[in-house]
Structure 1
Amino acid sequence: MTTTSRVSFAAAALAAGSVLLLSGTAFAHVSVQPVGEATQGGYATINFKVPNERDNASTTQLEVNFPIDQPLTSVMPQDIPGWTVNVEKTKLDKPLTVHGKQINEAVTKVTWSGGKIESGKFQQFPLSVGKLPENADRMVIKAVQTYDNGEVVRWIEEGKEGAAEPQNPAPVLKLTAAKGDDHHATGAKADDKNTGDKSGDEAKDGHDEASAAHSSDTTARVLGVAGIVVGLGGVAFGVASRRRTS
């Protein structure tokens, strides 16, 4: 192998390794996704996806922190075999009214511990949450991942628009706008229109059938009268012929 070939091969290997390294980093973040949609002002089930990034350690704890300025009055975890969950609440400076009931506390932290996520694997941590913010398009939920070798990774950095992604970005839950009744109203109008058109067509078909029946009845009557006239003519002709013969 020539010197030029060796240099080219080394450069290619370095580039490939860099791509793999960057790709692994990009896809190894702690993230949060809704099951279906997370609608503004509504309730949703969300999943925190936690991959294990270390080859020589296992993840043994996950802590997620909800923003106090976007208080959640209801947070219900789903049981995960081998894991213990703890939900913490904080007293609100200003009470909230939800479904006619005054709420003085909001959930600000949920911690899972006691389990293990081994190297090369991931675990999902589901929560049912609400009431989601009504005037925001996202929630930044900071997370802390702990390994059994004592290492702690804080996924708390908030990304900025137009800037590169931070090294340890915080999970972001995207919120969709609540859907109104316009679509249903439009659908109902369309159905009414279709029903009206169908009724008109049926009425038209009925009118055509009645007209056809009336025409057939008139034709039959005309033919019947014509037959009677022809019959009477034949009788008169026969009587006249008999008279001539006599």
Structure 2
Amino acid sequence: MALGKRTVGALPTGVAAAALLGAPAFAHVEVEADKAQAGATNVTLTFHGEAESQSAGIVSERVVLPQGIAPTDVTLVKAPRGWTFTSSADGFTIAGPALKVGQDAEFAVKVTQLPTDATTLSFKTVETYSDGKVSRWIDLPEQGQPEPESPAPTINLKPAAASAGITSTSAPGAAASPVTSAATPATSAAAVPAAGTTGSGGSSVAWWIALAVAVIAGAGGLLLWRQRSGNQAQ
């Protein structure tokens, strides 16, 4: 019974310790993509910055873009009331009046196109509160390793669609090629009668030449006949 009491008594302490240790894990900045696929276009990224301060509200979210996405390719979709979007050399910042204490910061941006060869995209985010506190969610996850203490918002991407590479040489392009090829023989075939027409003119000339040769041959034969007749007469 004494052991049981110690066990029961230790349970709340263990739960409390676990809760304290696990508390930071709940204060993440997370990101989701409506099209989580490499090479996808016009992708909406929705960020969710969880409030972790018990005394101040969030006033800004600064995001560093991963390689392959330029700041000029990002536009604002939605943000907390009164917040504005500003591009920077390596990303963007969304900031405005302090949110209520405990209120999460939610915002969304649209990206023109995701990198075609990426498997994951991490968006380092710096979260600032009205009391000056700064939370840096910038640690990059490593494969096979536990989640870092302050992980950067990350999305996993499916491989780029194979059809994207096939489209340029797929049915439409392939169909165009046979048509063009078929047209070439047709043009050549059409050219043959034209050549034949020219040839018929050549045949007419040949006919006249043959006729002239025949006339000349006939004249020569007549001359020879006359010569023979003269000799016989002598």
Residues 52 and 117, structure 1, Cα contact 8 Å, conserved in 2: no
Find 1:178's aligned residue among 153, 160, 179. 160
Question: For 1:22-66, what per-residue CA distance to the aligned partner results, in whole angstroms no more than 9, with x for missing partners?
Answer: 44332321011112x222112200111011011122111110001
Using a 3 Å threshold, how does the CA distance of structure 1 residues 142 and 12 change in structure 2: closer, same or farther?
same
Give the superposition deviation at 1:121.
Answer: 2.7
Structure with greater proportional strand content: 1
Residues 84 and 115, structure 1, Cα contact 8 Å, conserved in 2: no
Using a 3 Å threshold, how does the CA distance of structure 1 residues 41 and 181 change in structure 2: closer, same or farther?
closer
Larger Cα-atom Rg: 2
Find 1:149's aligned residue among 131, 152, 175. 131
SS of the residue 2:85 aligns to: strand
| Distance in 2 (alpha carbons) for counterparts of 1:166 and 1:119 | 26
In structure 1, give the amino acid aligned to 2:120: R
Runs (5+) with no aligned partner, structure 2? 165-234
Matched, 1:125 2:107: yes
SS of the residue 1:52 aligns to: coil
| Distance in 2 (alpha carbons) for counterparts of 1:9 and 1:118 | 39
In structure 2, give the amino acid aligned to 1:156: I
Using a 3 Å threshold, how does the CA distance of structure 1 residues 13 and 64 change in structure 2: closer, same or farther?
same
Structure with greater proportional helix content: 2
Runs (5+) with no aligned partner, structure 1? 91-107, 183-246
In structure 2, give the amino acid aligned to 1:157: D
Question: For 1:76-97, what per-residue CA distance to the aligned partner results, in whole angstroms no more than 9, with x for missing partners?
Answer: 1024322122112x4xxxxxxx
Match of 1:213 in 2: none
SS of the residue 1:139 aligns to: strand
How many positions carry a matched residue from both structures? 161
Match of 1:62 in 2: 61
| Distance in 1 (alpha carbons) for counterparts of 2:9 and 2:124 | 40
Match of 1:46 in 2: 45
Residues 38 and 114, structure 2, Cα contact 8 Å, conserved in 1: yes
Match of 1:110 in 2: 92
TM-score w.r.t. length of structure 2: 0.62
| Distance in 1 (alpha carbons) for counterparts of 2:4 and 2:83 | 53
In structure 1, give the amino acid aligned to 2:62: E
Question: For 1:200-223, what per-residue CA distance to the aligned partner results, in whole angstroms no more than 9, with x for missing partners?
Answer: xxxxxxxxxxxxxxxxxxxxxxxx
| Distance in 1 (alpha carbons) for counterparts of 2:61 and 2:9 | 40
| Distance in 1 (alpha carbons) for counterparts of 2:93 and 2:109 | 11
Match of 1:134 in 2: 116
Give the superposition deviation at 1:12.
Answer: 0.3
Using a 3 Å threshold, how does the CA distance of structure 1 residues 168 and 4 change in structure 2: closer, same or farther?
same
Question: For 1:93-134, what per-residue CA distance to the aligned partner results, in whole angstroms no more than 9, with x for missing partners?
Answer: xxxxxxxxxxxxxxx211111133333331211000032111
In structure 1, give the amino acid aligned to 2:83: W
Residues 57 and 102, structure 2, Cα contact 8 Å, conserved in 1: no
Residues 78 and 109, structure 2, Cα contact 8 Å, conserved in 1: no
Using a 3 Å threshold, how does the CA distance of structure 1 residues 51 and 117 change in structure 2: closer, same or farther?
farther
TM-score w.r.t. length of structure 1: 0.59
